[in-house]
Homo-oligomer: A and B are copies of this chain.
Amino acid sequence: MTGRYRISLAYDGTAYAGWQVQPGQATIQGELERVLEQLVGQPVRVHCSGRTDAGVHAHEQVAHFDLAEPADIRRLQHGMNALLEADIRILRAARCSPEFHARFSAVGKEYRYHFWTGAVMPPPLRLYRTHEPGRLDIAAMREAASYLVGHHDFAAFSANPNREVDGTVRRLETLDVRSRGSEVTVIAAGEGFLYKMVRSLAGFLLRVGRGEVAPEHAREILASKVRTARVPTAPPQGLFLWKVFYK
């Protein structure tokens, strides 16, 4: 009898070629599978709620895996953290139902994209913020965001709309722009996201904040359903997968 385990983890994506195992590259999945094999003595496949791209961080990602022998939860968590580098941390581990699936059981996700608008980037934040020195028009960004929230065809905000197997229509529940001091954060939450959709939304909102594009342009771009240079993909280091929601 196998048992299924669920973990929550945080990571700094700087040193990794993203979540997914790739030959010859350090990846989050690869690191987790390496330490689990060391701990249980046989190969373990780890499934996450959704892959993150190279350089993208996680405040809280969720994953599951099956073990042939029952494991002590505390020893599993401590063992994994002892063997992993400090840039990946297991926040919680639990035995879960064999029905639980990190990806298919998820009902929503929240992402946060962080810009730093100060003239100089504080060294401790340099790997976790996108530097955008200067004032952003937060009101304009919020207006543009208001047009994007809701049920839409987001083809114009996918980095690869032709390869979206479930189509390009999604319901964006939340798209908030928060500003505090030099920090501007875009918070996006919804059931599901297209490929690089959050970085595309952040890239577009940034152009609005700079005054390069009028907020109402968001409606036109949505309606066009065509991805063009009007929507740049913001760089990975500002993005955190913040939270995964389950029923």
Contact = CB atoms under 8 A, between A and B. Distances in A.
A127 B124 contact: yes
A112 interface: no
Contact of A123 (B87, B122, B123, B126): B87
A124 B90 contact: no
A32 B81 CA distance: 37
Nearest to A122: B10
A1 to B, nearest CB: 30
Interface residues of A, number: 20
Contacts of A123: 10-12, 57, 86-89
A91 interface: yes
A240 to B, nearest CB: 9
Nearest to A77: B120
Contacts of A126: 12, 86-87
A11 B38 CA distance: 37
Contacts of A214: none
A121 interface: yes
Contact of A89 (B59, B89, B90, B121): B121
Nearest to A127: B124
